[in-house]
Chains A and B, each alone.
Chain A
Amino acid sequence: MSIIKVEGLSKVFGKNTKQALKMLEEGKTKEEILKLTNSTVGVNRTSFSVEAGEIFVIMGLSGSGKSTLVRLLNRLIDPTEGKVYIDGENLAAMNKKDLRRVRRTKMSMVFQNFALFPYLTVLDNAAYGLEIQGIDKVERNEKAKKSLEMVGLGGYLEQLPAQLSGGMQQRVGLARALANDPEVMLMDEAFSALDPLIRKEMQDELLDLQETMKKTIIFITHDLDEALRIGDKIALMKDGSIVQVGTPEEILVNPANDYVKKFVQDVDRSKVLTAFNIMKRPETINIDKHGPRVALERMKEEGISSIYVTDSKRNLKGYVTADDASLALKADLKSLVTILKTDAPTVTKETLMNAIFEISHNSTVPITVVEDGKLLGIIVRGAVISALAGQSEVNRNHA
């Protein structure tokens, strides 16, 4: 069920907004509109929906309109046109009172530079959203304390924000957003001000928290690696428009246009592509039907020095090498059982490329991709390297 639904949402900054909107309809570019009307297009007729419980990442370079877009979602910025449905209510058309109710109970926000109140203690900061609602002190402190404990700051209740490190300050920001138990959390470049190590730690922690909380999170970032790491879905923005929405894999594997392609070419693919994406159909022989002679012939045909062996139900049994097979043939053995080797490296189809890389480096035979004992495919070392280089066609996961 989608919890947020955005329809034709636009924001034009400036005076001639009507004219600018009309020009957008006519297909004029942002630059032309700026020149002709002196108005800046922040967000250009975007539509998307976000499912409950997913992390929806909006990503783009600075000036792409992503920060404006997220502020349109809780109306920190009023939209020029379009609708924002939260739980079926159109936020864009709400009066102030209803808007406050939605902000208080349904959505909260985490900011790039933390936006903590420097004169309030950590506890009071985390309790701010509850205090605004007029919840009495005992209850709000208890809730705030709980959410601070969730982010690992249970021991810092009476400190002032200035006494904490950046990472800890953002945890307070996170705790403040969690304290009023919202359905939707808007995170505006929430980890961008943190140094890379802390950023990664916070990403992990967010994912851990998400395991139990199952909030709907709209996460803004300019960092593609971050987007790919935490996003269930990614919307890529350029010049105020959403260029593509999809899972991280779809974006990488199937870029909608040259802009997205260019954007993703520098990404660290090893952290996104899985075994499934780069495996190929294996040459196999059947242990129940075939002996060393067939094995040797198959290997000769394919120009390979080892071959995987399965049973009739494609359960992986092991592999045989060309050397062993020819010795067995000379010894006139009929079965493959005695020369079967079972030390083949095995991964699942979800294993990430960077793990596979390590394994393939230490292995002389192709890596097997196995699910429930069945051989799905194999990965040869060349495939790993060309996939990392971004040169190969990769399998698209529609599972």
Chain B
Amino acid sequence: MLNFMENIPEIPLAPYVSKFTSWISDTFAFLFDPLKNEFGDGLEDFADMLAAVPPVIIILIVALIAFFISGKRIGLASFSLVGLLLVWNQGLWEELMLSFTLVLVASLLSIVIGVPIGILMSKSKAAESIITPILDFMQTMPAFVYLIPAVAFFSIGMVPGIFASLIFATPPTVRFTNLGIRQVSKELVEASEAFGSTGAQKLFKVELPMAKPTIMAGINQTVMLSLSMVVIASMIGAPGLGREVLSALQRADVGTGFVAGLGIVILAIIIDRFTQSFTGKKRV
């Protein structure tokens, strides 16, 4: 009696998903192909352009910005300086630029997509109750799983990496935008309405400025998740530091793996501190 499952045939869930994925891949090929080609070329051009700039110039600029955003203290600036010089010294500069390009583009897209969805969620209860479980799904599904449809849609390279990263890294921006707007004090919203604001005026003059610190915290998380995804995406051919780690793993080469990993850490810390400094710590 306890074995009643034996009598129920297995639901062919996996084949369904596979079929569905290839259907999407075939049906929207007209969309995916140009994305894969044009967009992919654009990304590579951008990375090449960055790599063409003498590293020392980029390093100095980053260190200078670090100096100013950290309130004219030298901690972050000297870390950036030494860290980036080390990456250069290890011959990983080009990889660093590729990884940075991936993170930058993936994060920007996440923000462009995530913030409006978050706004929509904050304005509509229905939207919130539909989108929340989708976000839960996106965040709890193991990140590797996204690599499979990414390959199906965009084959290998940078574009599928960015696609997987989008799915994995957008949720925090959506969630925090929603949260940030919902947290705006009721009185402030009332004040804005009582003076005759339109919906857009209320959003741009009150809700978004008030929610900005929370939204920025979400964006910071999104950027960090993109970075981790960019490394994972090396499994589907995304270039950059991740690929070095992966190849070291395959050759059991501890040293090379560690150095490439260190490069990722350095990039992560710099990006994290840079985005955090926009989180709205206003000096009064």
Contacts and interface: CB of A to CB of B under 8 A. Distances in A.
B190 interface: yes
Interface in B248-284: 282, 284
A111 B284 contact: no
B23 to A, nearest CB: 42
A112 B185 CA distance: 12
A76 B193 contact: yes
B126 to A, nearest CB: 16
A117 B188 contact: yes
Contacts of B206: 117
A76 B194 CA distance: 7
B139 interface: no
Nearest to A113: B187
B284 A103 contact: no
B201 interface: yes
Nearest to A103: B196
B196 A111 contact: no
B191 to A, nearest CB: 4
B199 to A, nearest CB: 9
A109 B188 CA distance: 11
B188 A132 contact: no
A186 to B, nearest CB: 8
A129 interface: yes
Contacts of A119: 209-210, 282
Contact of B195 (A99, A132, A160, A163): A132
A62 interface: no
Contact of A109 (B185, B194, B201): B194
Contact of B188 (A76, A115, A160): A115
A355 interface: no
B197 interface: yes
A209 interface: no
Interface in A60-112: 71, 74, 76, 99-105, 107-109, 111-112
Contact of A133 (B187, B190, B196, B282): B196
B195 A129 contact: yes
A131 B194 CA distance: 13
Nearest to A77: B190
B198 interface: yes
Nearest to A100: B196
Contacts of A160: 284
B195 A103 contact: yes
A74 B205 CA distance: 21
B195 A117 contact: no
A3 B192 CA distance: 24
A308 interface: no
Given A117-B206, A119-B209, A76 B196 contact: no
Pick the most buried of A104, A112, A117: most chain B CB atoms within 10 A of its CB: A117
Given A103-B196, A117-B206, A132 B191 contact: no
A213 B53 CA distance: 66
Which of the four size classes fits the interface of chain A?
Answer: 20 to 34
Given A111-B190, A115-B190, A129 B196 contact: yes
A132 B194 CA distance: 11
B201 A108 contact: no
Given A132-B201, A160-B284, A74 B194 contact: yes
A198 interface: no
Interface in A103-158: 103-105, 107-109, 111-115, 117-119, 128-129, 131-133
A3 B205 CA distance: 31
Contacts of A186: 194
A115 B191 contact: yes
Contacts of A99: 196
A162 interface: yes
Contacts of B185: 113, 115
Contacts of B193: 76, 103
A104 B196 contact: yes
A117 B195 CA distance: 13
Nearest to B195: A129
Given A76-B190, A111-B190, A162-B284, A117 B196 contact: no
Interface in B171-217: 185, 187-188, 190-198, 201, 205-206, 209-210
Interface in B4-54: none
Contacts of A109: 190-191, 194-195
A280 B196 CA distance: 54
A286 interface: no
Given A115-B185, A160-B284, A103 B209 contact: no
B256 to A, nearest CB: 48
Nearest to B190: A76
B284 A100 contact: no
Interface in A148-176: 160, 162-163, 176
A19 to B, nearest CB: 23
Nearest to A99: B196
Contacts of A76: 190, 193-194
Contacts of B196: 99-105, 129, 132-133
A333 B209 CA distance: 89
Nearest to A182: B195
Interface in B57-99: none
Interface in A170-201: 176, 180, 186
B282 to A, nearest CB: 8
Pick the most buried of B192, B193, B282, B284: most chain A CB atoms within 10 A of its CB: B193
Report the 6 A-B pairs with minimum CB-CB distance, sorted nearest first: A104-B196, A103-B196, A115-B191, A109-B194, A115-B187, A129-B195
Given A115-B188, A186-B194, 5 more contacts: A99-B196, A103-B195, A117-B191, A119-B209, A132-B192
6 contacts: A74-B194, A107-B194, A111-B190, A128-B205, A129-B195, A186-B194
